A and B are shown apart, each in its own frame.
Chain A
Amino acid sequence: MLNVSGLCSGYGNVQIIWDASFSVNDGEVVAILGSNGAGKTTLVRTITGMIRPWKGSVVFDGDELAGKSSRAILDHKIVQVPEGRQLFTEMSVYENLEMGAYSKETKAKLAESLEFVYKWFPKLKERRGQAAGTLSGGEQQMVAVGRALIGLPKLLILDEPSLGLAPNIVDDILSVAHSMAKEQGISVILVEQDITKALRMADRGYVVENGKITLEGTSEELEKNEHVKKAYLGI
């Protein structure tokens, strides 16, 4: 469903992403792995239209998205949980979730979607009146995921959801992402530095190094790969 090929982008005249090609199938969880500064977030921003691609194509369900605005790409139901969560800290949990309804359709289905989100994250229902900035890191990440789900994604992109969170909370959030793919048929791109955790959840993965995709394979293949073992797993 998502087919990225030959994608190049960067900031100003500094190129960060070099000729990236990868694909995501329906209901699949694909991990994008790489160490800090490898260009994962830049890749996410390019796909979601927050920065313009310099070259290459992003085809989603047959539509070319390269060069479209972030809003237009959102309308194709590619929704991201951005790095650092990017919540509206002084708004309540409820208001944050509500802001995720960006279109007529998502607004019309808001009540239903809220129930859905509260079912997966019951904590958020308890805390719905509380300002998002006063929640714990894990709860904030749940709000960020919930806000994206309110947007009824076909493709959900999570950019380092585990950053700075306790291991058991990371497991919770990743397993929700996994269920979204396997039970709801939402495709998921999981961007992570924590390769072990990510590969446990993902069907396939790509490794990004210095803005280039250097390796790809199923989770098992990547786990067994000598380079991955040495460079990322410390074995």
Chain B
Amino acid sequence: MEIFLQACVNGLLIGGFYSLMGMGQNIIFGVMKIINFCHGEMLMIGMYLTFVFNSYFGLDPYLSIPLVVVIMFALGALIQHTLITPSLGTKSFTNLLFLTVGLGMLFQNLALVIFSPNYRTITTSYSSKTLSFGPVTMSLPKMISFIGLIIVTVALFWFLKYTPTGKKIRAVSQNPIGAEVVGINTKRIYIITYGLGCALAGIAGALLTLFYMVYPMVGASFSFKALIVVVVGGFGSIQGAFFAGIFLGLLETLSSLIVGPTYRDLTVFVTFIVILVVRQVIKLRRR
């Protein structure tokens, strides 16, 4: 029972990361109908930024988050403005596929050149502190990250629901023609959306850095997980991505516990395939 509770907590934590990645991916998909294949690399850049701020400037990894947000937003906005928006005009899916996949490779290789393939970690004075809640133990960094994930997720929902810009993002993703009719500057929304998606991935990276190794390929598995979250949660659905992310995290840790790490990924994929099939069957029945 204790092990089970512990696994649930760990699952929620990792699931929170998957959610954040999937939600960023889905905001981008909703607005531009593209899949951002370099989403994991944005997380990787966020991790390296946090690493650099900590090892060269002694900045606390959590205090570096505002800086990471600003840098990642600017990077995303720049990529959108100079590369993605012009490619959207060509209406070619392959162009955009190669563009974001290519950017991912570029960033991986840049990281390789700058930081070498070595695994990096950072430690702080509170790295090894732990907190106990009854039977569940959690390291302090994980606890802080967990709270950070909750704050960012709530802030994101609030932003999309209530702010003028958030409403415009939803408007463009629900009906681009309607958005033009009410005078929304779609190109500006593209820039904000992609910047926001990158900033969210960057935050995920920063929140991860204290208990996850940093290396150039670290983004790959998160890119992949974000993609699963998008498919299972529904393309463009922010709530869907939130729940699918949490579910994926729980499923991973619990199946690791129940069937063992060897069969973990198998269990996860079989479960998701079953979910997709069942959902499709229900959809067809309803017609």
Q: Which A positions have Cβ atoms within 8 angstroms of B?
A: 48, 50, 70-71, 74-75, 80, 82, 85-91, 95, 98-100, 102-103, 147, 151
Contact = CB atoms under 8 A, between A and B. Distances in A.
B1 to A, nearest CB: 41
Interface string B180-199: 11111100000000000000
Contacts of A87: 175, 178
9 contacts: A70-B180, A82-B178, A85-B178, A86-B181, A87-B178, A88-B175, A90-B170, A99-B171, A99-B182
Contacts of B182: 74, 99-100, 102, 147, 151
B183 A86 contact: no
A91 B171 contact: yes
A95 B175 CA distance: 14
Interface residues of B, dominant DSSP = helix
Nearest to B174: A88
Contacts of A91: 167, 170-171, 174
Contacts of B171: 88, 91, 99
A160 to B, nearest CB: 14
Contacts of B183: 70-71, 74-75, 102-103, 151
B181 A80 contact: yes
B177 interface: yes
B177 A86 contact: yes
B137 to A, nearest CB: 42
Contacts of B174: 88-91
A12 B218 CA distance: 44
Contacts of A89: 174-175
Nearest to A95: B167
A74 B181 CA distance: 8
A208 to B, nearest CB: 21
Given A71-B185, A88-B170, A91-B170, A50 B175 contact: no
Contacts of B170: 88, 90-91
Nearest to A74: B183
